[in-house]
Structure 1
Amino acid sequence: MIRASYLMETPLDPQAVAEMMAGEQSSGTFVRVAGETDALRARYSARVAEVTILEERECPTLPSAYLDRKAVSGPWRRVAVEIDYPEDNVGVNLANLAATVAGNLFDLGEVTGLRLNRLALRPEYRDCYALPSQGIAGTRATLGVSGRPLFGTILKPNIGLSPAQTADLVDQLCRAGVDFIKDDEIAGNHPHSPVRERISAVMDRVRRWREQSGRDVMVAFNISDEVDAMRGHAEHVEAEGGNCVMASLNWCGLAAIQSLRASTPLAIHGHRNGFGAFSRHEALGIGMHAYQALYRLAGIDHLHVHGMGGKFADQTEEVAEAARLALQPLGQTDDRVMPVFSSGQWAGTLPQTLEEIGNADIMFLAGGGILAHPDGPAAGVRSLRDAWDAIQANEPLDAPGRPALATALDFFGGR
């Protein structure tokens, strides 16, 4: 069985609405139809496992013309609902899985709020889907980094640089000592910077850096596009010696990410931009537990989780939970993905990040925290490593002897 956990709001009988949800998303509709035999229902009907009333409210979260037509009034109850769906209803089909556990449920007239919070899968069923190509272990092996977070940055300015200018910036960042560099999510296939030209120009510098230093740097090129274009861009990255591509998960979609995974051995850096539209309201949309499960079935290797004390609206616990989920296996094999912290991150936010999740298997991206360091990007990278050293030594960040970190604390600390 596939178990989906919902937060549902309704003024009607919660058990009856939950049963209707289960029927709507499995073998039936709002009335029993010809051919819907008892045997068919026994095998293919979804089943309500649990209904728990959590609270009553005086006003609905969302309007419903259906309820208005029936002159239904409150109180409106918020209810935790658990529904089990037969795996045979889905097969191994990620788009159909999402349509089954979500689909039309958000549009039902009986509900004035609905959120898919969790998705629980049998490990054996999870393993029928794609696994990460590199995941945590492979990403670390590619970069030759163990025992500490991966420190990286985002290319800024994110728009307006030519391929040659982007390559110059990447070269500077390689020399500054970063492990990882990524395109911004709005960097794409621009007239002023065609993605293939940018890939070739950047990888020329990365290859030179590898030869000179013996170190690798992972660059996540944003190849978000329609499916065939993404496949072609990924092939070009691989041909140029690259090891990672980035995709905007929500705008490419589950099936496109699946197709990309099937066509490339490169690490897929999953950017969740737009996730707030699905998750930010407590009574509507899709929660991180269900969201990350779906995209991990598509085979991503890294997943953005935002950052502690950053510029976005997430609470600290929301960020920490997202990271902890990424670090938990879903299947029988090691299918963990590397959580990616970004948004307003710098050396001063690293201690809380590590304390909250208790694991160094993270990617810690500092855009301004590296590029805007008063002493330059190399000092920005040094400040991150200084912060890590201070944490390992159980010393405060402002302990003497770490000048790059001291400057970062002075410059970024009051912002």
Structure 2
Amino acid sequence: QLTTITDKRLKQISAKVFSANEKSGIIKIAYPSELFEFGNIPQLMSSIAGNVFGMSLLNNLRLEDINFPNAYIRAFKGPKYGIPGIRKLLRVYKRPLLGTIIKPKLGLDEKEHAQVAYQAWLGGCDIVKDDENLSSMKFNKFYSRIAKTINLRDKCEKETGEKKIYMPNITAECDEMLKRAEFVKKVGCEYAMVDVLTVGWSALQKLRKENEDLKLVLHAHRAGHAAITRNPRHGISMLVIAKLCRLIGMDQLHIGAIVGKMEGGKKEVQGIGEEIEHKFIHPNKKQHVLAENWLHIKPMFAVCSGGLHPGKVPALVNALGKDIIIQMGGGIHWNPRGSYYGALGARQALEATKGGFG
């Protein structure tokens, strides 16, 4: 027994198990809010998803969900734009947004990269995104790539009369990441994407803080998530990661595709979509979802990607609705006639499905 604290004080700050189901193995634990520094996500995760995972007596442990007290939520700003702000920026209100990821992941130089982006925009894509592996390479330097791609974006906007978005990958060491964010803003880019798990929660919070002045739309890519989310008996659920991204203030998040090549079942992906888009979340015991009231926090745009092609658009929209961003990589760039025709086919598939959008 500890001699450094009184029994009374220890009882006040102790976590309490208030629900335990031996059959399902689901345990619900309540923690006193005074154990947490509000606004500090690294401290939160160190506390509830830290050393406990290394305990020798445990074979498996999985964090399925977190319910945040209202006071904790109020310590965060959440997304700067969210769904309403992004739709206003693109002037597209009644259909899913269409995006592409430049393929191949690596290998193109700056000029080739910009040209592929131009062809995709011209064919009908709203958004073009860097791949998560592409940062600043010997054959494709970040600052040169951004400048060349933005020039062709501007050209395409004049030719099509549509708003076009370029989503450059600014993932890097924290200081360099912020430097890149400042640069993309300076050259007229409205977006930045970041690999949220590989940069870490601290860097993500720093980026969101600086974004009060930068005013960029922040896209959260989840590269590496499956290392901790995929095992259904161990790790941390994708739902938890999604909630943390919304709390910190990402505007968009890749949630899976249901009908694509990436893991994630229909109910799981739908549940994540609801969690990041709705204000009030109702509990769902089957999906291990807790109730949540997101208060002032704006809704995030759900991004669907991974193994998608034009033929899968109707099923995807039927499952997730119109408030999604559909991103195709190979589904556009593998078209034998080129990226323009791949994007054209994807846009036509979206327009053909548009009857249900009003």
Give the drift of 1:153. Answer: 0.3
- Counterparts of 1:328 and 1:209, CA distance in 2: 34
Match of 2:343 in 1: 381
Equivalent of 1:117 in 32, 51, 64: 64
Amino acid paired to 1:273: A
Asked if residue 267 in structure 1 is aligned to residue 217 in structure 2, the reply is yes
Give the drift of 1:375. Answer: 4.3
Asked if the contact 1:51–1:81 (Cα under 8 Å) also holds between the matched residues in 2, the reply is yes
Asked if the contact 1:303–1:339 (Cα under 8 Å) also holds between the matched residues in 2, the reply is yes
> Runs of 4 or more off by more than 6 Å in structure 1?
none
Asked if the contact 2:122–2:160 (Cα under 8 Å) also holds between the matched residues in 1, the reply is no
Asked if the contact 1:46–1:86 (Cα under 8 Å) also holds between the matched residues in 2, the reply is yes
Match of 2:233 in 1: 283
Asked if residue 40 in structure 1 is aligned to residue 3 in structure 2, the reply is no
332-341 vs 177-186, which moves further: 332-341
- Counterparts of 2:244 and 2:89, CA distance in 1: 26
Matches within 5 A, 1:163-178: 163-178=110-125
Give the drift of 1:310. Answer: 1.6
- Counterparts of 2:353 and 2:227, CA distance in 1: 36
Equivalent of 1:370 in 332, 335, 353: 332
Match of 1:356 in 2: 319
- Counterparts of 1:270 and 1:178, CA distance in 2: 19
Match of 2:153 in 1: 206
SS in 2 for 1:224: coil
Give the drift of 1:353. Answer: 1.6
Gaps of 5+ in 1: 1-31, 56-78, 395-415
Asked if residue 312 in structure 1 is aligned to residue 267 in structure 2, the reply is no
SS in 1 for 2:353: helix
SS in 1 for 2:26: strand
- The sequence identity of aligned pairs, in percent, is 29
Equivalent of 1:146 in 77, 93, 96: 93
SS in 2 for 1:153: strand
- Counterparts of 2:251 and 2:146, CA distance in 1: 20
Across the aligned residues of Structure 1 and Structure 2, the Cα RMSD in angstroms comes to: 1.8
42-51 vs 103-112, which moves further: 42-51
Change (3 A) 1:382 1:314: same
Gaps of 5+ in 2: 280-292
Change (3 A) 1:219 1:90: same
Normalised TM-score (structure 2): 0.89
Asked if residue 249 in structure 1 is aligned to residue 211 in structure 2, the reply is no
Asked if the contact 2:259–2:315 (Cα under 8 Å) also holds between the matched residues in 1, the reply is no
SS in 1 for 2:107: coil
Match of 2:246 in 1: 296
286-295 vs 210-219, which moves further: 210-219
Give the drift of 1:388. Answer: 3.3
Equivalent of 2:162 in 209, 215, 231: 215
Asked if the contact 1:326–1:339 (Cα under 8 Å) also holds between the matched residues in 2, the reply is yes
Give the drift of 1:392. Answer: 4.2
Match of 1:69 in 2: none
- Counterparts of 1:385 and 1:172, CA distance in 2: 13
Give the drift of 1:212. Answer: 4.1
Asked if the contact 1:124–1:332 (Cα under 8 Å) also holds between the matched residues in 2, the reply is no
SS in 2 for 1:339: strand
Give the drift of 1:334. Answer: 4.3
Give the drift of 1:349. Answer: 1.6
SS in 1 for 2:259: coil
